[in-house]
C-alpha cells in the first residue's frame, strides 16, 4: 500500500493506506483524530468539513492521495494556546444540542470569518447552507457567528 506524508494541524504524519481512502477515514481511524465526523459520505451534509490550505473541504470525498502536500486543518487543530473566537462563541451561545454536526459547522464558520470578518446574515446563510443540523441549531449558529466576529475583531 502507498505511503503518504500528511501535514495536519502543523504536524507531519505518515500513513500507509490505499490511495482512494477518504481523508475522513485516515483522520478518524489511522490517526485517531475523531473530531471530524462521518455524516453522509457524499459531501452533502458538511459534518466532515476540514480546511485544505485554508479552504473548507468535505473530507469524506477527498481521497488521501489528493490531500498530499496540502495544509490540512481539523477541528482538533483550531485552538492553539486557547480556544478560537469561533469555538468560544459556540460555547457561550450554547449552540450544540446533540453536537454531532458542530465540528463541521465550526470549520465552515471559521473559514467564512477568515475571508469575511463581518458577514451579513445573507452572507452567513450562503456560507452555512451546506452544513446540515437535524437538531435545528441554526439560529444559535447564526448568533455564535456574529459573536465570534465581534470577538475576533475586538
Partner 1 sequence: MSTSLNRRNFLRISALAGGGLVIGFPAMVSCDNPAKKAEAATSWENVNAFLKIANNGEVTIKAPNPEIGQGVKTAMPMVVAEELDVPWEMVSVVQGELDTENFKDQWAGGSQSIKRAWPRLRMAGASARYALVSAAAAEWQVPMEECSTEDGFVLHKGSGKKISYGKIAASAATVELPEEVPMKDPADFKLIGTSKLNVDGEKIVTGQPLFGIDYKVDGMMYAMLVNPPVFGASLKSVDDAAAKAMAGVKDVVTFGNKVAVVANSTWEAKKAKEALKIEWNAPSNPASTQKYVAAMQRSLEKKGKVQRKNGNPDKAFREANQVIEAKFEAPFLPHNTMEPMNFFADVREDGVTLVGPTQTPARARRTAAEITGMDESKITVNMTRMGGGFGRRLKADYVADAVEISKAIKAPVRVLYTREDDMTAGVYRPASQYKFRAALDKEGNVTAFHVRGVGMNSGVVRDANFPAGAIDNFLADGHTIKSDITTGAWRSPVHNFLGFAEQSFLDEIALAGGKDPLQFRLDLLEKAKKNAVGELSYDPERVIAVLKLAAEKADYDKQESGVHKGVACYYSHSTYVAQVAEVVVEDDKPMIKRIVSAVDCGIVVNPVGAINQVQGSVIDGLGHIYFGELTFKDGKPDQANFDKYRLIRFPEAPQVEVHFVDSKEDPTGLGEPALNPAPAAVANAMFKATGERWRITPLDPSKRPGVVELENRI
Q: State the minimum distance, in angstroms, from the CB of residue 50 to partner 1.
A: 10
CB contact at 8 A, 140 and 93? yes
- Residue length, the chain? 154
Q: State the minimum distance, in angstroms, from the CB of residue 45 to partner 1.
A: 5
Q: Which is nearer to partner 1, 35 or 52 (CB)?
A: 35
Q: Which is nearer to partner 1, 22 or 56 (CB)?
A: 22
- Tell me how far apart the alpha carbons of residues 134 and 40 are, in angstroms, rounded to a whole number: 13
Q: Which is nearer to partner 1, 74 or 149 (CB)?
A: 74
Q: By CB under 8 A, name the binding residues for partner 1.
A: 1, 17-18, 20-22, 25, 28-30, 32-42, 44-45, 47, 74-76, 78-79, 83, 87, 90-92, 94, 96-103, 106, 124-126, 128-142
Q: State the minimum distance, in angstroms, from the CB of residue 97 to partner 1.
A: 4
Amino acid at each position: 500500500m502507498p505511503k503518504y506524508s500528511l501535514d495536519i494541524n502543523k504536524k507531519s504524519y505518515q500513513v500507509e493506506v490505499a490511495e482512494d481512502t477518504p481523508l475522513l477515514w485516515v483522520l478518524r481511524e489511522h490517526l485517531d483524530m475523531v473530531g471530524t465526523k462521518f455524516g453522509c459520505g457524499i459531501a452533502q451534509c458538511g459534518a466532515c468539513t476540514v480546511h485544505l490550505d485554508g479552504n473548507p473541504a468535505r473530507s469524506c470525498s477527498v481521497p488521501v492521495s489528493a490531500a498530499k502536500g496540502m495544509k490540512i486543518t481539523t477541528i482538533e487543530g483550531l485552538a492553539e494556546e486557547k480556544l478560537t473566537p469561533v469555538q468560544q462563541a459556540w460555547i457561550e451561545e450554547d449552540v450544540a444540542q446533540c453536537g454531532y454536526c458542530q465540528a463541521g459547522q465550526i470549520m465552515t464558520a471559521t473559514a467564512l470569518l477568515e475571508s469575511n470578518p463581518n458577514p451579513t446574515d445573507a452572507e452567513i446563510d450562503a456560507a452555512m447552507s451546506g452544513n446540515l443540523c437535524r437538531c435545528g441549531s441554526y439560529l444559535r449558529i447564526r448568533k455564535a457567528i456574529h459573536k465570534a466576529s465581534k470577538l475576533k475583531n475586538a
